[in-house]
Amino acid sequence: MFVRSLLLTGALIAALVAFCLLGSPEARPPYIQGQNRTALFISNIEHGLSNVHIATATSLLENYPDIEVHYASFSGLGNKLARVSKFAKAKTPAAREITYHEIDGKAYFSILPLSITPPGSAGVAKFASDVQTWISPWSVEEHMSIYNRVGALIDEISPAVVVLDTLVRPAVDSVRDKNWMHAFITPQTVAENFIGDQPYGSMFWKYPALTSGFGFPVPYKNILENIYLNFRFVYAAMLTPQLNAKKAALRERGVKDPINFFNLHRPDIPWITMTTDGVSIPLDVVPVNVTCAGPILLSVAPAHEQDPGLTQWVQRSPTVLIALGSGFKYPLDYAEAMIGAVFDVLSKTDLQVLWKFDKDGDYSDDVLAPLEPFVKTGRLRLSKWLTIDIMSLLESGGIAAFVHHGGSNCFNEGLAAGVPHVVLPLWADLYNFAAIAENVGVGIWACKDTSPNWTAKGISGAILKVTDGGETGISLRQRSKSLGDKLRTGEQGRDIAAREIAKLAYVKKGQGEGP
C-alpha cells in the first residue's frame, strides 16, 4: 500500500509539472536558414563543455570539407581551434580552417563560484539555491551583450545552422528570437535531460535525481528521498526569485522568452548527446529528434606529436593520471588529502603519477614537500595544465587509471580509451556518473562514504584496488578494455554528430533560406 501511494504521489507531481511547464506546442514559422554549406558553433570555453562541439566541428572539416565552419566563444579558445584545424587539414588536405569569432564576456566557470555539495538531501538545498547561477550566471547587462553579439554574428555569417551549447543561454535566446535554424550538442546523456518526459511519473521514483548518486533503478529504500530531490529541484528552477527578476529585466529589453529552462528541448530541433547503450541510464522514452551518439570526443594529434618527452615518460611505467576537470582548483584540505594519497600510492607501488594540480587559495607550496622525493626521482609530475590533450594521453597506452571528478567528458574519455576510473564527485550530476562507473564495472567511486570530502586513505585505496593484481582490479581493467575496444571499432560519436549537423548545413533550395 505504501509503495502504491508513493508511486501515485510521484505520478501526480509529474503530471502537474508537465501541465505547468509544457503546455501546448508553440506554433512557429519555418526556421530561417542562411548560406548553404555554412555552420556556426557557439560554446563555452571549458573543455568539459566545449570539447563535444570542437570534436564535431573537427569531424565536419575532415568529412565535409565543402562546409564552411565558424566558431564563436569567449577569450581563450582561438589557439585550440587553430590547432585542431591544422590537424584536420593534415588528415584531409581539402579541409578549411575554422573561422574563429571572439565573444566579449566572462567564461561560464569564471563566474560560477566553486560550489562543492554533498549528494542526496544534504546537498540539494545548496544546489537548489545556486540553480539560477548554474542555469545562466551572467548578469542582465552581460546577457544582453552576448545576446547582441550573437545576433550580429548571425547577420554577418548567415549560417545554414547554428550549433548551440545549452549552457550559453544568451546565445540560445538570441538564436531563437531570430527564429534561426539550430541544433544542440551536449556532453550530458539523455538521463540528465529527459527524465521529465518519462511516463507514470517515473522521473520521481525510477530514475536517480540529478544530485542523488543513487543507482538505477532507484533502490526501494531511496525512493522517498529521490521524490523529494526531484521536486525540490523543479521547485527551485521554477520559483527562484533572482532568476525570475532577471527574466523580467530581459523581457523589458526585448528578449522574448529569456532563460526558459523547461522549454529548451523542442521536437523540431535536433539534440545530440553523449549517450552510450549499456553504459548510460536507459530511458523508457527518448524524443525522436534526439541522437544518442555515444562518446563525442576530441582526439587531436597523437600524444607523441604534442609532447614527445611527456609521452615517453608516461609509457616508461604504468601511470596514474589525476585530472579533475577544467573548472576545479584545489582548496587546501582537498590538496592535503590528494597529497597524502599520492604519497601512499608511490610509496607502495612502482606506479608513476601525472597530476594536474592548481591551487584554490593562497596557501604555501610547502604543502607539497612530502612529494618532493618522488619529483626528484622522476616518478611524479605536477602541472597546472597538461601539454597533451587528455584523450590523447589516455590513448597513448601508458595510463593505468584515470582519477577524475565524474564529469561527462572525462567519463566518456576514459570509457572510450578503455582505462578504468577512480571517480571523486563533488557536485550535482557528478554523483550520477560515479554511480554509473561502479554499476557498469569500469571504475570505483572513491571516498563514497564521505563525499564530497576526501581522505587520503579513501583515494589511495581506490587507486590501489584499480591497479593491483586483485580480483576487483582485474575485473575493472578487463571490463574497461572490452567496452573501449567496442567503442573504438564502431562509428565514432564525433562523426555521428557531424553527419547530423551536415544534414542541416546543406540547405534544400526554397526551404527556409535566409536572405
C-alpha cell at 296: 563525442
Whether the CA torsion 224, 225, 227, 228 is positive or negative: it is positive
- Considering the chain, what is the average pLDDT of its residues? 89
Torsion of CA 271, 276, 279, 283, to 10 degrees: 40
Helices (DSSP H) in 330-470: which residue ranges? 332-348, 372-377, 390-395, 408-417, 430-440, 456-467
Where does the pLDDT of residue 25 fall: very low under 50, low under 70, confident under 90, or very high at 90 and above?
low
Architecture of domain 303-489: 3-Layer(aba) Sandwich (3.40)
8 Å CB contact between 120 and 211:
yes
pLDDT tens track for 339-365: 999 999 999 999 999 999 999 888 999
8 Å CB contact between 393 and 321:
yes
Residues 465 and 469: their CA atoms lie apart, in Å, by 8
Average pLDDT over residues 284-308: 92
CATH class as words, domain 6-297+493-505: alpha beta
Average pLDDT over residues 3-20: 41
100 burial via Cβ count (<10 Å: 0-12, 13-18, 19+):
middle
Average pLDDT over residues 399-427: 95
- The answer, yes or no, to whether residue 3 has pLDDT greater than 60, is no
In this structure, what are the phi and psi dihedrals at residue 152, rounded to the nearest 5 degrees? -65, -40
pLDDT tens track for 272-281: 999 998 898 8
Residues 431 and 120: their CA atoms lie apart, in Å, by 9
- The answer, yes or no, to whether residue 16 has pLDDT greater than 50, is no
Distance from the Cα of residue 308 to its chain's centroid: 29
Residues 34 and 54: their CA atoms lie apart, in Å, by 22
DSSP 8-state symbol, 26: P
Residues 131 and 123: their CA atoms lie apart, in Å, by 12
The whole-model pTM stands at 0.90
Q: Give the domain ranges of the chain.
A: 6-297+493-505, 303-489
CA-based R_g, the chain, Å:
23
